[in-house]
Amino acid sequence: MIFSWVINRRKIRQGGNLRDGVEILEEKVGSGPGVENGDLIHFFCSVSLDGRLVQERKSQKVWMGSRGIVPGVSKALIGMRSGGYRRVRVLPHLAFGTAKMPSRITAETVLEYEVWLESVHKTVAEL
C-alpha cells in the first residue's frame, strides 16, 4: 500500500507542476468501487492554509458533479474508494474561485484539503 502511494506521488509531481490544479500529497486507498460523477457520496473535509487549520473537519453528503463541492476537492474525490483518505494541494482557481472566502484567504491562496471518504452510493437503491 505504501509503495503504491510513493509511485502515485512521483507520477503526479513529474515536472514539478500541479497536475490539473490538484496535487495529491498523501493517500490511503480504501475499498470498493471508485467515485464517479453521478454517485452520492458522504465525506469529511478540512482545509489548511500555511499549516494552520482554516476549516475544521466537516461532514458533507453530495451528488458528484453537482456544484456543492469546491472544484479541486471534486477532482480529488474522483477515483477514491470508501475508507480512503487524501491530502491534496489545490490551486486558487479550483478552490474558492469568485465565491465569498473566509477573511484569511485571498484569491491567490493555494490551499491544502484533507478528505476522508466515508461512503459511495452508485444508485439510489443502495441508500
7-34 pLDDT, tens digit each: 344 333 333 356 679 999 999 999 999 9
Q: So what's the pLDDT on residue 6?
A: 36
Q: So what's the pLDDT on residue 73?
A: 93
SS3 107: coil
Higher-pLDDT residue of 3 and 90 is 90
What's the predicted TM-score (pTM) here? 0.78
What are the distances in angstroms from CA 74 to CA 15, 37, 69, 77? 23, 9, 6, 5
Quickly state the pLDDT bin for 126 (edges 50, 70, 90). Answer: low
Q: Cell numbers for 125, please give them.
A: 437503491
Could you give phi then psi for residue 34, rounded to 5 degrees?
Answer: -80, 155
Domains in the chain, number:
1
> The domain that contains 96 carries what CATH number?
3.10.50.40
- Domain range enclosing 97: 2-126
